[in-house]
Chain A
Amino acid sequence: MYRWLRNIHLVSGLFSFLFLFTYGWSAVQMAHRSWFSLQPRIRETQVAVGTEVSDNPRALARTLMDDYGLRGGLDEVRQTSEGYELRISRPGTEYKVSYSRVRGEAKVRTFRANFMGMLNSLHHVAGFRRGDGLQKTWASLVGVVSVGLILLAVTGIYLWFKLFNERAVGIVLLVISLTYSLSLAIWLRLM
């Protein structure tokens, strides 16, 4: 049993290493926003489009995806006095498109996240409701790593308990941490 659980702890921990480390690092960024710059790289292009998209933002989005290589989900459409605006986004990249009926063209502003911005985006990718195959693969790995984290905690407790000479200090630390966290969590829930 001990050997079996030790192997699970070791293998799941090593597989999850880079995921957990980057989740921790992006969490540091979110907790200390002033420490890092999330300034994206911005590029602007003009695209001439036919009149068939003048009242159809979805058709324009599709044209931009098929002919100009934009990738992502269409998640914001807004009418403007000149035409309409839409947003296509995927983790780390966002396209803000303004279509003008008068000029018959779409202005595409591309925002490319830097490394920290990309980690921040990936931190928020979860679930299978939206996104392409790559995002869904990432989401499934988030699930694997999350279950792995629970396994690491459970097997870790068992392995520590088997290290007899570490028990006394360990029990004190465990009692302190559980008392602190559980009493706060219950207190906050009841407020």
Chain B
Amino acid sequence: MLPNLVCMNRLIKKIHVYLGLLNLSFVLIFGVTGTVATLRYAPYRLPSPKQPPRYEPYEAPARLSDQQVADDIYRKLRIPLTSPAEDWAIRRDDQNDLLIDLYTINGPYRVTLLEKENRLRIERVRESIWLYIDNLHGHTLQEPGMDRPLRLWAYYNEFSIWSLMGMALSGIYLGLTSRPNYQPARYALASGILVFLVLYIAIRR
């Protein structure tokens, strides 16, 4: 190999290894998320709350709409990791009580406004560890929630997304240049690209 190419190889190998070490947790999280999603047979159902509900006094202002009341409750409760409820997370139940899901990365808090009793029923629904990992993998800078640990996680996620692409590109370079005569590597690359393209075109059609 030419000396310049050797230097280049060393540098790219270093970048590849360092990115891998800096993103080990995320690479595992991406892998586990994909594996769990593949193996999940039953449609997703929110688990029942395991802890007994807690109650807090609350009187809904008379002139507010359901969305405005939901925002008011969100501000009043200040539950960590939540963000204001979107309209799809607000509805009326069979007793016509207002039901608000305040989502967190661990699962939602289900808040019921018991208007006749002037109080809120608050139930915590905790997702399984697998769904928690799934939520971790999907928590990007785009997601709502301004709590510091969530923002720090989103920054790490951002770094890992770019790193994954960097590792893929540096890996392909290393795979093709460091052992150019290793045939299984070339077949693996060619078959991976071919399978991807064939499936992409067939699904797209």
Q: List the interface of chain A (C-beta within 8 A of B).
A: 7, 10-25, 27-28, 30-33, 90-92, 118, 122, 126-129, 134-135, 137-143, 145-150, 152-153, 156-157, 160, 163, 166, 169-170, 173-174, 176-178, 180-182, 184-185, 187-189, 191
Which residue of B33, B80, B156 is within 8 Å of A181 (Cβ)? B156
How many pairs of A and B residues are in contact by the CB < 8 Å rule? 202
Given A13-B171, A17-B171: A32 and B142 within 8 A (CB)?
Answer: yes
**Bound complex: CA of A139 vs CA of B199, how far in Å?**
11
Pick the contact of B27 from A118, A153, A174, A184 — CB < 8 Å?
A: A153
Interface of chain A, main secondary structure: helix
A15–B192 touching, CB < 8 Å? yes
Interface assignment of B140: CB less than 8 Å from any CB of chain A: yes
CA distance A160 to B192 in the complex (A): 25
21 A-B Cβ contacts within 8 A?
A10-B175, A14-B172, A15-B191, A15-B192, A17-B168, A17-B193, A20-B164, A20-B168, A24-B162, A25-B165, A28-B161, A31-B140, A91-B203, A118-B200, A129-B40, A134-B202, A141-B199, A142-B38, A146-B34, A160-B21, A185-B153
Decide if B196 is an interface residue (CB 8 Å cutoff).
yes
Residues of B within 8 A of A16 (CB): 168, 192
Of B17, B37, B41, B204, which is within 8 A of A160 by CB? B17
* Cβ–Cβ < 8 Å partners of A28 in chain B: 161-162, 165
* CB of B200, distance to nearest CB on chain A (Å): 7
User: B residues touching A (Cβ–Cβ < 8 Å)?
Assistant: 14, 17-18, 20-28, 30-35, 37-43, 80-81, 104-106, 132, 136, 138, 140-142, 147, 149-150, 152-153, 156-158, 161-162, 164-165, 167-169, 171-172, 175, 179, 182, 184-186, 188-189, 191-193, 195-197, 199-200, 202-204
The residue that B37 contacts in the complex, of A23, A127, A147, with Cβ under 8 A, is: A127
Q: For the complex, what is the distance from the CA of A134 to the CA of B106, rounded to whole Å?
A: 33
Instruction: Kindly report which residue of chain A lies nearest to residue B164, judged by CB atoms.
Output: A24
Chain B contacts of A17 at CB under 8 A?
Answer: 168, 171-172, 189, 192-193
Query: Once the chains bind, are A166 and B193 in contact (CB under 8 Å)?
Result: no
User: Which chain A positions have C-beta within 8 A of B23?
Assistant: 177
**Which residues of A are found within 8 Å of B38, using beta-carbon distances?**
126-128, 139-140, 142-143, 146
